[in-house]
Copies of this chain bind each other. A is one copy, B any other.
Amino acid sequence: MNIQVIPSANVCRKSDVKGKVVVVIDVLRATTVVTLALQNGARSVIPMQTPEEVMERRSQMNSSSVLTGGERNAVKIEGFDLGNSPEEYTPSVVNGKDILFTTSNGTAALLATEGAQDVMLGCFLNVSSLVEKVLNANTDVAIICAGTNSDFSLDDGICAGMLIYQISRRVPVDTNDLGALLSKYYENGSTGILSKIVECNHVKTLFALGYYNDVMYCLRTDRSQIVPHYRNGAITVK
């Protein structure tokens, strides 16, 4: 199985994803929050580029079944129902709702997948279920690490490494150098992975803003069997 890792969404080219199964990873926090929202009963999550688009779309929809969520500079957007913290997306809040969602990096990563055969969202929460989906697809794969501020982010990278490492234990994997590096890094440090991630620049930012619980939540592994799929502008469970 051929697996190419893209270091950040802004450097993803059309040829990197065309016709492939694409996995978008934004561990802190977008893909984790989306996975959790769908697990807790949300009907769909609709990624949008700007807060303004979200507000305009909301005004056109039946407000009783719609929520707005997301962040800018890691903080909840003024006038939105929800921020980007997992703990906000409880069953009582999100069940049956469509969530209009915009984040700094995750949305750009999803928009970069145009031309892909299939797009899935990955995070530590659903990594083992994702492994099964990718193995079933049995085709060329691109993993887009969403990144932070247009730069590679190690939290996404270690999740990508975990995914490749687990797949490579089941089938032969041919990967690019970044994929090989991340898989090896995960393998060598798998028992102390948390200590590696807390050194990420993005984690330092989130800690400084008081999002300690969010980070700890996002680093939980295999708590969900939900693999969100993005198609026709919406993220749902397949």
Question: Which residues on the B side are within 8 Å of A181 (C-beta)?
Answer: 154, 157, 181, 185
Give the Cβ gap from A224 to chain B, nearest Cβ, in Å: 25
Q: Out of B154, B177, B188, B200, name the residue touching A151 (CB < 8 Å).
A: B177
The docked-state distance in angstroms from the alpha carbon of A148 to that of B185 is: 21
The docked-state distance in angstroms from the alpha carbon of A201 to that of B118 is: 27
Contact indicator B199/A176 (Cβ below 8 Å): no
CB of A122 within 8 A of chain B?
Answer: no
CB of A11 within 8 A of chain B?
Answer: yes
The docked-state distance in angstroms from the alpha carbon of A200 to that of B177 is: 6
Question: Which residues on the B side are within 8 Å of A4 (C-beta)?
Answer: 151
Given A7-B7, A11-B11, check contact A151 B176 (CB 8 Å). Answer: yes
Question: Which residues on the B side are within 8 Å of A77 (C-beta)?
Answer: none
Question: Which residues on the B side are within 8 Å of A184 (C-beta)?
Answer: 185, 196
Give the Cβ gap from A17 to chain B, nearest Cβ, in Å: 14
Contact indicator A199/B180 (Cβ below 8 Å): yes
CB of A68 within 8 A of chain B?
Answer: no
Q: Out of B148, B152, B185, B201, name the residue touching A7 (CB < 8 Å).
A: B152
Interface residues of A in 1-25 (CB under 8 A from B): 4, 7, 10-11, 13
Give the Cβ gap from A202 to chain B, nearest Cβ, in Å: 8
The secondary-structure label for the interface of chain A is helix
CB of A178 within 8 A of chain B?
Answer: yes
Task: Report A177-218 CB contacts with B as 1/0, cut-off 8 Å.
Answer: 110110011001000000010011110000000000000000
CB of A39 within 8 A of chain B?
Answer: no
The docked-state distance in angstroms from the alpha carbon of A7 to that of B151 is: 10
Question: Which residues on the B side are within 8 Å of A10 (C-beta)?
Answer: 11
Given A154-B181, A180-B199, 20 more A-B residue pairs with CB atoms under 8 Å apart are A4-B151, A7-B11, A7-B152, A7-B178, A11-B11, A13-B150, A148-B177, A151-B177, A152-B177, A154-B177, A157-B177, A157-B181, A176-B201, A177-B200, A177-B201, A177-B202, A181-B185, A184-B185, A184-B196, A185-B185
**Residues of A at under 8 Å CB distance from B?**
4, 7, 10-11, 13, 148, 150-154, 157, 176-178, 180-181, 184-185, 188, 196, 199-202
Give the 5 A-B residue pairs with the shortest CB-CB distance, closest first: A154-B177, A11-B11, A152-B178, A7-B7, A153-B177
